[in-house]
Homo-oligomer: A and B are copies of this chain.
């Protein structure tokens, strides 16, 4: 568990170390994608791996997201364990046919005779004017389709443990990274370990309200919890970590206790992860105990690059705290915490 170790790593180095250790452990693991072998090494997450494992196992690819996804699937059918990297989740829209129509379905439509152990890493952008096409968190698409697994680690510890598991998993895993989380630091054991599907983590205990924060919004939820303390609201914060399979049990148990659920997603609400979590919790707890719910996510618009509008586009610790305040106290109180600099967002500095 995170506390057992003293060593601190950045999320970037945790991803790099997980890949390094798994590639050393299993020669069937290969790593490819645009620019994995370039000087920037995907924010550093692939740094040194080309030198260590050679150009056959670590290679940059042409700009061909559709075919390269098929290549990953085909290589997996032949016994390899490909990791395919995309520096923007938005680019996965070019790979949807292979992901949805082939990767998710091969095991089933071939009667269980094949498996597609691929890991698709993709990154969500924020800030610095990235705008419409470099900011989407579209993982709900992959939660919708049976046959895929989806994980969105928020800490360096989980980044490593989930990636190690994802590589060993025999099903296609969509591994979602948030570029701002890349700069987080935290304890990471050097020895290899896995953080397995179907287990959420309670990141802060509380009794008044259950706050589920997905991907980067987990960070904002933990900050919001601090704001809420100042008004004597005790929030329990949960990080689902794995979105598919989703550990709804842990969330349900928390809401059974608190009676209040606020899901803060790093994506749009409509047909998103927040809709699914709310629906599942209601289905489980209806007629067992009354529950009030709230969803927060991106504004239902396209992401604007100008900071003045972008700040309104994303939920943040203050807007989350304000919404939770109303959820707990009831009504529309218009309460807003005063900004605390010690809770400032980690700034993502350009060039993006």
Q: Which residues of A contact B (CB under 8 A)?
A: 66, 90-91, 93-94, 96-97, 99-101, 104-105, 108-109, 131-133, 136, 138, 140-141, 143-147, 244, 267-276, 278-279, 282-283, 286-287, 290-295, 300-302, 304, 330
Contacts and interface: CB of A to CB of B under 8 A. Distances in A.
Contacts of A276: 270-271, 275
The interface centre, meaning the residue of A104, A108, A302 with most chain B CB atoms within 10 A of its CB, is A302
A343 to B, nearest CB: 28
Contact of A271 (B104, B147, B272, B282): B272
Q: Which 8 A-B pairs have the closest CB atoms?
A: A108-B302, A93-B96, A93-B97, A109-B132, A140-B271, A275-B275, A96-B96, A278-B279
A21 to B, nearest CB: 32
A140 B305 CA distance: 26
7 contacts: A93-B97, A93-B101, A143-B271, A144-B271, A278-B282, A282-B282, A287-B292
Nearest to A299: B146
A99 B133 CA distance: 12
A242 to B, nearest CB: 13
B133 A105 contact: yes
Contacts of A273: 271
A282 B283 CA distance: 11
Contacts of A94: 66, 96-97
A112 to B, nearest CB: 11
Contacts of A301: 108, 146
A101 B109 contact: no
A231 to B, nearest CB: 21
The interface centre, meaning the residue of A144, A293, A294 with most chain B CB atoms within 10 A of its CB, is A144
A109 B93 contact: no
A131 B59 CA distance: 36
B271 A293 contact: no
Nearest to A280: B275
A272 B144 contact: yes
A96 B104 CA distance: 17
The interface centre, meaning the residue of A138, A270, A304 with most chain B CB atoms within 10 A of its CB, is A270
A244 B99 CA distance: 25
Contact of A140 (B144, B146, B244, B291): B144
Given A147-B302, A269-B279, A275-B275, 9 more contacts: A66-B94, A93-B101, A101-B132, A105-B132, A108-B132, A141-B144, A270-B276, A278-B282, A279-B279
The interface centre, meaning the residue of A108, A278, A279, A295 with most chain B CB atoms within 10 A of its CB, is A279
Nearest to A147: B302
Contacts of A140: 144, 271
